[in-house]
């Protein structure tokens, strides 16, 4: 055999049974190799000077270009806060001291609550959380290889599955319930499907201000009253408050006002398209997105100082040859990583997309696109990595099988976020000396090895690590089939609902819930 070939399998010492036994014991949460909220930040897409330069550009844009199309209520709120309204071009402009005041007043240490407190998300610093997002209009059903219209039941199933996944830390509404035709009922059933499907933190949106008010009413019922809701608001309003470039989305802003007043955290989502509704150079895309989100931040502070808001610098990439979105592109991954850094500069909680694919179903393309962006977002320390699981076809399709497969990859991403601990214990030179000079010449049975196999290494659930021979002998298990099987396993669990029968009945008494049995 050639001298470059590494020995494939280390000799199996007598310790193998001990290792397998140890591995099968459940781990305390704190000892697990990965968990939500590990701190990233070791990848810096921008230098400090570049961050400052983009910040200055954003301030200039807010001072000189400003924002059009604010609703009257917003104009009143923001001019009272110090913004300047021009009757001539109907734009609000923001002197830099106004932006700086909003930055100072904004809540920095934001916790996004979950109904189950163990799923609360601490968005401080460079803590990383992965979750779903999107408004896919199709289920990318990899089991049958088709793209049916997405339904309320699909959304509920996505919530159920997310509830069971270790590395998908929050659930933002990811599919549009196209079988609920009335917009009000769609919004409320969407909220219901999310909240009844998972006790993790939820994100959703509302089409009209009145629907947001209805949504708050439902949440009061679920929380056990308005005070209980306001103490631990477990749903965030994902709000596309801006239509880039530099225009408010009038009605979404009105939704935002209702949500902020109702104690609901908001994600200030600016979704420019590089080269279309945002400039072509990546640096300018970020500057425009930051400017827009800072305008949103002023808006929120003008409604209620200190109200929790997440910076949603969320630019997308377009394939400029064809106009098609390229959500799985390298440029997309760069944008989101850089946006994380801008948020860190402001010490504000930040969310951006990271992990979408343009592929239709799970394949090598989707795997690569997902992993590249999710890894980079995590290493950059993005607090909320949205669209990080299950998102296919440039946001048009959501795949339950993809969600399950992506969970495994997100565990690996989080292991990368955690990084390498260079400690005296870990460097233990005495062990190396003893192994080399007196010992067996390998580390297989060492106490340190046995002690670290569960804490230092992340073991994915579905990845195939068999030799070709073993794989063949086991009838060539396919990755997608494993995901399909797990999907059915989770979805077949009876008595799922995360709402008590009493609360469920109260919600159903007040609202027309389209999900029949849950």
What distance, in Å, lies between the first and last C-alpha atoms of the chain?
A: 59
| Radius of gyration for the chain, computed over Cα atoms and rounded to the nearest angstrom | 24
Gap between the Cα atoms of 420 and 489, Å rounded: 35
State which of residues 109, 149, 428, 505 lies at the interface with a copy of itself (CB under 8 A): 428
Q: Residue 48: CA atoms inside 13 Å, Cβ hemisphere, count?
A: 0
Name which of 197 and 209 has its Cβ closer to a copy of itself: 209
Q: Is 362 in the site for a copy of itself (CB under 8 A)?
A: yes
State which of residues 3, 29, 87, 502 lies at the interface with a copy of itself (CB under 8 A): 3
Q: Is 329 in the site for a copy of itself (CB under 8 A)?
A: yes
Name which of 103 and 276 has its Cβ closer to a copy of itself: 276
Q: How far is the CB of 441 from a copy of itself (least distance, A)?
A: 7
Q: Which long-range contacts (CB under 8 A, 24 or more apart) does 246-249 make?
A: 246/61, 246/65, 246/66, 246/67, 246/68, 246/288, 246/291, 246/292, 247/67, 247/68, 247/69, 248/67, 248/68, 248/69, 248/70, 248/71, 248/74, 248/295, 249/69
Q: Is 343 in the site for a copy of itself (CB under 8 A)?
A: no
State which of residues 309, 394, 400, 507 lies at the interface with a copy of itself (CB under 8 A): 394
* Tokens matching residue 515: 């999900």
Q: Is 491 in the site for a copy of itself (CB under 8 A)?
A: no
Q: Is 316 in the site for a copy of itself (CB under 8 A)?
A: yes
Q: Is 48 in the site for a copy of itself (CB under 8 A)?
A: no
Name which of 428 and 512 has its Cβ closer to a copy of itself: 428
State which of residues 425, 492, 493, 517 lies at the interface with a copy of itself (CB under 8 A): 425
Q: Is 246 in the site for a copy of itself (CB under 8 A)?
A: yes
Name which of 121 and 414 has its Cβ closer to a copy of itself: 414
Tell me the backbone φ, ψ of residue 458, rounded to 5 degrees: -95, 130
Q: How far is the CB of 475 from a copy of itself (least distance, A)?
A: 12
Q: Dihedral of CA 299/300/306/310: which sign?
A: negative
Q: Is 257 in the site for a copy of itself (CB under 8 A)?
A: no
Q: Is 44 in the site for a copy of itself (CB under 8 A)?
A: yes
Burial 245-266 (b: 16+ CB within 10 A, else e): bbebbbebbbbbbbbbebbbbb
Q: Is 278 in the site for a copy of itself (CB under 8 A)?
A: yes
State which of residues 103, 276, 484, 506 lies at the interface with a copy of itself (CB under 8 A): 276
Q: What residues from 215 to 244 belong to the interface with a copy of itself (CB under 8 A)?
A: 238-240
Gap between the Cα atoms of 464 and 73, Å rounded: 56
Task: State the maximum Cα–Cα separation within the chain, in Å, rounded to a whole number.
Answer: 85
Name which of 157 and 239 has its Cβ closer to a copy of itself: 239
Q: What is the DSSP letter of 350?
A: B
Q: What residues from 9 to 28 belong to the interface with a copy of itself (CB under 8 A)?
A: 9-10, 12, 16, 19-20, 23
State which of residues 104, 432, 474, 500 lies at the interface with a copy of itself (CB under 8 A): 432
Pairing of strands 121-122, 111-112: antiparallel
Name which of 322 and 492 has its Cβ closer to a copy of itself: 322
| Residue 342: closest CA among 126, 63, 78, 97 | 126
Q: Is the peptide bond before 257 cis (omega within 30 degrees of 0)?
A: no
Contact 353, 393 (CB under 8 A): no
Q: Is 409 in the site for a copy of itself (CB under 8 A)?
A: yes
Gap between the Cα atoms of 486 and 281, Å rounded: 42
Q: How far is the CB of 35 from a copy of itself (least distance, A)?
A: 14
Q: Is 405 in the site for a copy of itself (CB under 8 A)?
A: yes
- The binding track of 103-142 with respect to a copy of itself, each residue x by CB under 8 A or -, is -------------------------------xx-xx-x--
Q: Is 93 in the site for a copy of itself (CB under 8 A)?
A: no
Stretch that binds a copy of itself, among 114-122, 213-221, 412-420, 499-507 (CB under 8 A): 412-420
Stretch that binds a copy of itself, among 113-121, 300-308, 389-397, 494-502 (CB under 8 A): 389-397
């Amino acid at each position: 055999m050639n001298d470059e070939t590494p020995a494939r399998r280390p000799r199996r010492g007598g310790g193998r049974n001990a290792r397998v036994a140890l591995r099968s014991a459940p781990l305390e949460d704190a000892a697990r190799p990965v968990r939500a909220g590990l701190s990233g930040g070791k990848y810096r897409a921008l230098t400090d000077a570049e961050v400052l330069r983009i910040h200055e550009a954003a301030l200039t844009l807010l001072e000189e270009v400003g924002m059009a199309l604010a609703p009257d209520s917003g104009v009143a709120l923001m001019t009272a806060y110090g913004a300047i309204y021009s009757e001539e071009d109907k734009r609000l402009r923001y002197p830099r001291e106004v932006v700086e005041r909003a930055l100072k007043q904004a809540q920095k240490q934001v916790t996004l609550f979950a109904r189950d407190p163990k799923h609360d998300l601490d968005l401080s610093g460079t803590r990383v959380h992965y979750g779903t997002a999107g408004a896919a209009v199709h289920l990318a059903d990899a089991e049958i290889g088709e793209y049916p219209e997405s339904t309320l039941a699909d959304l509920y199933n996505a919530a159920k599955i997310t509830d069971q996944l270790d590395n998908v830390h929050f659930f933002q509404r990811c599919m549009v319930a196209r079988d609920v035709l009335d917009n009000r009922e769609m919004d409320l059933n969407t909220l219901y499907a999310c909240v009844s499907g998972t006790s993790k933190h939820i994100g959703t949106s509302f089409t009209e201000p009145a629907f947001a008010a209805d949504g708050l009413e439902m949440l009061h019922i679920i929380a056990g009253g308005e005070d209980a809701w306001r103490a631990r608001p477990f749903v965030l309003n994902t709000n596309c408050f801006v239509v880039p470039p530099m225009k408010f989305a009038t009605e979404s802003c009105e939704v935002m006002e209702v949500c902020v007043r109702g104690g609901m955290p908001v994600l200030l989502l600016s979704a420019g398209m590089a080269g279309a509704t945002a400039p072509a150079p990546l640096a300018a895309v970020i500057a425009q997105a930051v400017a827009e989100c800072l305008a949103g931040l002023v808006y929120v502070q003008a409604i209620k100082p200190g109200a929790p808001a997440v910076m949603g610098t969320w630019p997308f990439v377009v394939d400029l040859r064809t106009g098609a979105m390229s959500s799985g592109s390298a440029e997309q991954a760069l944008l989101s990583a850089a946006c994380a850094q801008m948020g860190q500069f402001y010490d504000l909680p930040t969310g951006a997309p990271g992990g979408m694919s343009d592929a239709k179903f799970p394949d090598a393309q989707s795997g690569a696109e997902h992993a590249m962006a999710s890894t980079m977002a995590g290493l950059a320390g993005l607090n909320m990595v949205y669209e990080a699981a299950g998102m296919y076809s440039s946001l048009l399709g959501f795949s339950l099988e993809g969600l399950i497969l992506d969970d495994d990859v997100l565990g690996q991403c989080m292991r990368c976020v955690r990084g390498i601990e260079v400690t005296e214990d870990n460097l233990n030179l005495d062990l190396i000396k003893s192994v080399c000079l007196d010992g067996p010449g390998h580390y297989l049975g060492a106490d340190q090895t046995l002690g670290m196999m569960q804490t230092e290494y992340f073991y994915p659930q579905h990845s195939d690590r068999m030799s070709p021979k073993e794989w063949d002998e086991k009838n060539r298990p396919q990755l997608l089939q494993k995901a399909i099987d797990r999907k059915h396993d989770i979805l077949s669990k009876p008595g799922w609902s995360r709402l008590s029968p009493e609360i469920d009945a109260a919600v159903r008494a007040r609202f027309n819930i389209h999900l029949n049995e849950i």
